Chains A and B, each alone.
Chain A
Amino acid sequence: MKPLHLVLLAVAAVIAVIFMSFSPGRMKAWQGRFLDVSTPALSAGAAINDRISKLNKGLKTLDELEAENAALLAQNNELRAAGHLLGDLNEENRRLRESLGYRERSAFSLVPAAVVSRDASSWWNSITVSRGFSSKIESSQPVLTAEGLVGRTTTVAKDVSIVLLLTDENCRVAASVEGTNEQGILSGQRVAGSTTPQLVLNFLNRNADLKPGARVLTAGVSGAVFPAGIPLGVVKEFRTRELDGQAIIEPAADFSRLEDVFVVLGKK
Chain B
Amino acid sequence: MIRASVLAAAVYLAVIVQEFIPALPFFGDARIVLVPILFCYGALLFPFPGVLALALYCGLLSDLALLQVDGEHVEIGLGWTMLYYVLVAATLQIIRRFMPKRRWETHCLLTGAVTLVLLLGQYLMVCLRRGSLIIDADVFWQVTGPAVAALLLAPLFYFLLALLPRDAVARRRGSRSTASS
Contacts from A to B (Cβ < 8 Å): 1, 5, 8-9, 12-13, 15-22, 24, 27-28, 30-31, 34, 38, 41-42, 45-46, 48-49, 117-124, 126, 128, 139-140, 154-155, 162, 164, 169-170, 190-195
A9 in contact with B90 (CB, 8 Å): yes
Report chain B residues within 8 Å CB of A27: 67, 69, 74, 77-78
> How far in angstroms is the closest Cβ of chain A from B146?
7
A150 to B146 alpha-carbon distance, docked (Å): 26
In this assembly, does B68 line the interface, its C-beta being within 8 Å of a C-beta of chain A? yes
The 8 closest A-B pairs by CB, nearest first: A19-B79, A20-B79, A117-B19, A16-B83, A16-B82, A122-B142, A34-B64, A193-B29
Q: Which residue of A lies closest to B67 (CB)?
A: A31
A43 to B147 alpha-carbon distance, docked (Å): 28
Tell me the dominant secondary structure on chain B's binding face.
helix
> How far in angstroms is the closest Cβ of chain B from A122?
4
A1 to B90 alpha-carbon distance, docked (Å): 9
Which of B12, B73, B126 contacts A123 (CB under 8 A)?
B126
A139 to B68 alpha-carbon distance, docked (Å): 12
Assuming the contacts A8-B52, A19-B60, A155-B69, asked whether A120 and B74 have C-beta atoms less than 8 A apart, the reply is: no
Report chain A residues within 8 Å CB of B94: 1
> How far in angstroms is the closest Cβ of chain B from A14?
10
Report chain B residues within 8 Å CB of A194: 23, 29
Report chain A residues within 8 Å CB of B119: 122
Known: A16-B86, A119-B19, A121-B31. 11 other contacts (CB 8 A): A1-B94, A9-B90, A16-B59, A19-B79, A20-B77, A20-B78, A27-B77, A42-B19, A122-B30, A155-B67, A192-B138
Report chain B residues within 8 Å CB of A191: 134, 136, 138-139, 142
A193 to B26 alpha-carbon distance, docked (Å): 11
For B, the interface residue count at a CB cutoff of 8 angstroms equals 61
A8 to B20 alpha-carbon distance, docked (Å): 35
Report chain B residues within 8 Å CB of A118: 19-20
> How far in angstroms is the closest Cβ of chain B from A157?
11
Q: Which residue of A lies closest to B14 (CB)?
A: A120
Contacts from B to A (Cβ < 8 Å): 12-13, 16-21, 23, 25, 28-33, 48-49, 52, 55-56, 59-61, 63-75, 77-80, 82-83, 86, 89-90, 93-94, 119, 122-123, 126-127, 130, 134, 136, 138-139, 142-143, 146
A16 in contact with B56 (CB, 8 Å): yes
> How far in angstroms is the closest Cβ of chain B from A54?
14
> How far in angstroms is the closest Cβ of chain B from A44?
9
Report chain B residues within 8 Å CB of A195: 23, 25, 29
Report chain B residues within 8 Å CB of A122: 30-31, 119, 122-123, 142-143, 146
Which of A12, A170, A193 contacts B68 (CB under 8 A)?
A170
Report chain B residues within 8 Å CB of A19: 60, 63, 77-79, 82
A117 in contact with B20 (CB, 8 Å): yes
Question: Can you name 11 A-B pairs with beta carbons within 8 Å?
Answer: A1-B90, A5-B48, A13-B83, A13-B86, A18-B79, A20-B78, A24-B74, A120-B66, A191-B136, A193-B28, A193-B29
A155 to B70 alpha-carbon distance, docked (Å): 8
Q: Which residue of B lies closest to A13 (CB)?
A: B86
A13 to B88 alpha-carbon distance, docked (Å): 12
B83 in contact with A170 (CB, 8 Å): no
Which of A21, A28, A38 contacts B69 (CB under 8 A)?
A28
Tell me which of A19, A27, A154 has the highest count of chain B C-beta atoms within 10 A of its own C-beta: A19
A128 to B82 alpha-carbon distance, docked (Å): 23
Q: Which residue of B lies closest to A191 (CB)?
A: B138
> How far in angstroms is the closest Cβ of chain A from B14?
10
Report chain B residues within 8 Å CB of A126: 68
Report chain A residues within 8 Å CB of B29: 193-195
Which of A5, A41, A46, A155 contacts B93 (CB under 8 A)?
A5
A123 in contact with B64 (CB, 8 Å): no
Report chain A residues within 8 Å CB of B79: 16-22
Tell me which of B19, B52, B73 has the highest count of chain A C-beta atoms within 10 A of its own C-beta: B19
A5 to B60 alpha-carbon distance, docked (Å): 21
